[in-house]
């Protein structure tokens, strides 16, 4: 049974530059058998037919009439493992977009807007001249791997051991703080952390709570 492949499309337009009046048409069909590919582009239509797979081959096809004429000899095609990518030149220059790809105003379930390449008419100036065929999946994977490497920063906690140099009273103080704070002193490693800890300990020694009642009242 012949099926329709998914067809994505977008466009650009210009009333002064001919090469910017183009259609992006992508036949989104992985593993096309190149030997089976039948692709014909005329000024008024596009015809596609191909099979996919090796053991269980499936046949796909579609035929569309364009809204307006195109220029086949100034159009390009590129086949990769996931899709057939077409850049089709419109015949007439014009600032306005085509209202649709097809001549007849009918709903084709397999024909969809390519939002990865689509831009509004008034945003074409900032749009890239060459829309990418596809995103690089390896690139995305590489980003994830690179971010995972940041986990190694956890090793910096080991620097807390430097606080124990000298075997002085500071070591006892740090041990007492570790017992009360669940190992928090590792995060305060370094000279500044030690100084703050020393000040904190001094403050505690000066503040032993309120004086006894008999000392607080004046002698009679």
What domains lie within the chain, and their CATH numbers?
6-101 (2.60.40.790)
Residues facing residue 79 across a β-bridge: 84
Q: Is the pLDDT of residue 220 over 70?
A: no
- Helices of type H across the chain: 137-148, 169-181, 191-206, 213-216
Between 96 and 167, the more confident residue is: 96
* Contact (CB, 8 A) for 147 and 153: no
Q: Is the pLDDT of residue 119 over 80?
A: yes
Distance from chain centroid for Cα 197: 45
Q: Is the pLDDT of residue 68 over 50?
A: yes
What is the rounded CA–CA span in Å between residue 37 and residue 49? 6
Kindly state the DSSP code that residue 101 receives in the 8-state scheme. Answer: S
What's the pLDDT at 175? 57
* Contact (CB, 8 A) for 52 and 31: yes
What's the pLDDT at 146? 38
Look at the pTM and tell me if it is higher than 0.85.
no
What's the pLDDT at 51? 97
What Rg value do the Cα atoms of the chain yield, rounded?
36
Cα separation values, 92 from 16, 74, 76, 137, Å: 10, 13, 17, 37
Residues facing residue 113 across a β-bridge: 9
- For residue 67, with 0-12 CB atoms within 10 Å meaning exposed, 13-18 middle and 19 or more buried, which class applies? middle
What is the rounded CA–CA span in Å between residue 85 and residue 26? 5
* Contact (CB, 8 A) for 18 and 121: no
Between 21 and 184, the more confident residue is: 21
> Of 47, 9, 50, nearest to 29 (Cα)?
50
Q: Using one digit for the tens of pLDDT, what is the confidence trace for 71-117?
A: 999 999 999 999 999 999 999 999 999 999 999 999 999 999 999 99
Both tokens of 207, joined, read 């503040």
Q: Using one digit for the tens of pLDDT, what is the confidence trace for 125-139?
A: 766 665 555 543 333
Strongest mean pLDDT among 17-21, 63-67, 173-177:
63-67
Q: Is the pLDDT of residue 188 over 80?
A: no
Q: Is the pLDDT of residue 165 over 50?
A: no
């Amino acid at each position: 049974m012949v099926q329709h492949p998914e067809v994505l499309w977008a466009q650009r337009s210009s009333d002064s530059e001919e090469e910017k009046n183009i259609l992006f048409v992508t036949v989104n069909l992985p593993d096309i058998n190149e030997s089976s590919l039948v692709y014909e582009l005329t000024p008024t239509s596009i015809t596609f037919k191909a099979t996919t797979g090796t053991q269980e081959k499936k046949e796909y096809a579609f035929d569309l009439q364009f809204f307006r004429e195109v220029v086949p000899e100034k159009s390009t095609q590129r086949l990769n493992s996931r899709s057939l990518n077409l850049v089709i030149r419109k015949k007439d220059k014009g600032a306005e977009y085509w209202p649709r790809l097809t001549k007849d105003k009918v709903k084709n379930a397999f024909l969809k807007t390519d939002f990865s390449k689509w831009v509004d008419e008034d945003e074409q100036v900032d749009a890239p001249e060459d829309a990418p065929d596809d995103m690089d999946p390896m690139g995305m994977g590489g980003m994830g791997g690179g971010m995972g490497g940041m986990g190694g920063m956890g090793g910096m906690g080991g620097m807390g051991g430097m606080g124990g140099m000298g075997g002085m009273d500071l070591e006892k103080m740090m041990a007492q703080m570790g017992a009360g704070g669940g190992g928090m002193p590792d995060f305060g490693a370094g000279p500044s952390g030690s100084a703050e800890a020393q000040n904190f300990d001094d403050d505690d020694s000066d503040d032993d709570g309120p004086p006894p009642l008999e000392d607080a009242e004046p002698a009679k």
